[in-house]
Chain A
Amino acid sequence: MKILFSILFLLNFFVPVFADESLEAQALLQKIQTASKQESYVGIFVLQRENQLIASRIVHRYVAGDEQEKIEKLDGLRRVSVRHNEDIISYQPGTKTLRTEKRQTQDVFPAVLSFNSHSLIDHYQLKLAENARVAGVECRMVTIEPKDNIRYGYRLCAAIPSNLMVLAQTIDLNRQIVEQIAFTSLVFGTVDENSLKVDFADTAEWKTVHGAVAVSTESGWSVKNLPAGFKKIREVRRLINAGSDGARRGKPDDLHEVLQMVFSDSLASVSVFIEPISLEHRAGIVQQGATTIAGFQSGNFWITLVGEVPVAAIKLMSDSIEYKQK
């Protein structure tokens, strides 16, 4: 009895500590989201995905509610994107193409959660870990561990005191890093407006493409068995083309219409693409970094699933795609 009492006493002591820690970690995620928008900084971040290392230079300026950002890819094909609030212009000097579009998603690094999900803690355990140092900046590490085996875990580190995310890692069930992105240099402070300008002289002669317009729809297609906590966040009909640079745009045979449903548990997301079979596809399943991609035929349709989830989640979803008459 004495032991039981002691245990109860100890539990009473520890449980609130765990709860507080989880709440603190949740609050930190929200602060990361705010910091990604409201801090002004210049830095270089590197994405490490499978055999690729891709560095990008970012300039972010926030003045009186106005957000401006320039991201220049430093490796591979040169690409510069300039964003003013929701409007994005991407410059691809290789193909002399300029692409204009509206921002579609707000949780791109260094942001993380664009919508506050109360259900996050149902499926992940949030904890604060030891502080770390990234790009010369001291940061608070938060670990987000999945409670099941159908999603990955994450480790995020938020700079002290700004809360800008300086490191994000996706961790598999064997605690291996499958993909990571981190700043390698970072300077906070006032950003000169001129550093957001692009230096291409002759863009008037460039080809301009507009981001394909996606139309919201309710097609009748659905995924019956979703991994717990996943919800449909959008369903659109849109044209997709070969790659994102629009280099081959203008060739009608290269654009094709797909139905895209996006499901998310607010950290990971899975797109399900459905289209009548028109191209020669190769069926199979491939993993690239944290992303699993599966493609297969069903009736006269080709179905592709793409998501930052383990194979088990992709399998669960792909076994239960169905169509119901509207």
Chain B
Amino acid sequence: MKRRRFLKNILGAGTMGMFGVSTSPLMASAPAFSDYKALVCILLDGGNDAWNTFVPKGSSGSTGYDKYKDGRGDLAITNSEVTLPVSLSNGSSNPYYQAGDDIKAYKKGYYAISGIDQVGVNSLMPELAWLLRDGKASLIGNVGTLVEPLVNVTDYKNASKSKPHFLFAHNHQRRELFTGKANDTNLTGWAGRLADQWSGLHGGNVMGLNVSFKGQVRLMVGSQTQPVLFRPGTAATYSYLTQKDSDSHSESRVNAFKKLYALNSNSDPFINLYNTILKRSLDLNVLLNQYWKSDDQKKTFTAKGPYNEDLFSVPSKSNTGMEEELGGDLIEQLEAVAQLIYMGSSADKMNLNRQIFYVHFGGFDTHGNQDQDHPILLREVSLALYKFQKSLEELNVDQKVATFTISDFGRTISNNGDGTDHAWSTINSVVSNASEFDGGKFYGSLPDFTMGGDDDVTSKGRFIPKISVDQMNASLCSWFGVDDSIMTTLFPNLPNFKTDSAIDSAYLKKGGTKLFS
């Protein structure tokens, strides 16, 4: 801390000396981008059960279906390949349909993807299967929080090996995904640090690098930067404060509001902090009224969803043939992201260069009622990813955007009676149509599913991941334009995963190919 402050002072003084102007203390500034790119991070909050999402279907003894079934018991997906249709029809015509019973649909089987031998895609996710088939998505297997590689449970129990802090605890595992350092839950977020590094991006526009759909998420809080916060739907704007009506005078009132938050109050840190939040809210209000509030500013998508529904409308039970209606939360957020990407990427609108979006989809902590609650979540994830990708294609930015899922942790291979508990290794998805993207692949591996076996840190099937989530994020960041030289600022433990002296040897590879070339 002290050291950083010292460095900042030096740099601050330096810039003042050279240019004779006072600039905000900054460590680096944004590269001169001339194009647009976006990363979209989707948190499946609660710890998605990857093993029922991507069903281990191999015949190998330790990583295959039989071991999976051994742990899962009644909660296992059936070892049965479901034919992936070329398109969907309503109700009972859906490929996963099983007499309208969601639990049966959940367990019906999986889609096999050519070129992916390890897992099949749960039959409730035909759209994600299409994306994988078409080379627009890849899976990252056996991934999780890691400080350094851990080969097996002996390694895990070796006191000299560094492990993530507080495995199996939701908030701290999420925190470590966000800090980019699995043995530090107090660090700022990696996207926040990138925004710090790229200070000056977009010329100080309130719409900086980071946009969060779930509050002040640690991922996006840096030491000097914070995300802009959004909710789907019509954005909240100041109603009375800034609007004229018969008995008011908005200009004077807004000026008074501005003068009040500009009053310095004896350098009281809480007061000063709150003043900056008040200022931001008003700045954002101006921006929202300019670009977001009115419908005629928004893109009307002509592409259709898989049931021929309007692209971002939430399919009903009669479409999906399921017992439960979809919640729609993820679809609505990705619709809003699509609109923001439209505004951000369009030269005649905000004309931004780089954006990271954080989207949050909850409900994955399936300790209980998993076979009732998980199906509806998987169905929505698949639909939402597909719809979002369609919108990007219509906006002609599908080559400029990479969408990826992360989750607190994977879940136990064992079953607690009506659900699964907190574990570690999981499977993430990356969706993109970038020309540099190696789609349609399964990166990584599967754990040895033996309970109490070489990969299990307890006796319940909590498996050690072999790929660090930082490696996956670094691959995405590299494509996004983050220079190798600052990659360890974002992911301090990344060098532990190098295979040679170059930092890029820690990026995800399959054979000799990188996830993003």
Report whether chain A binds chain B: no
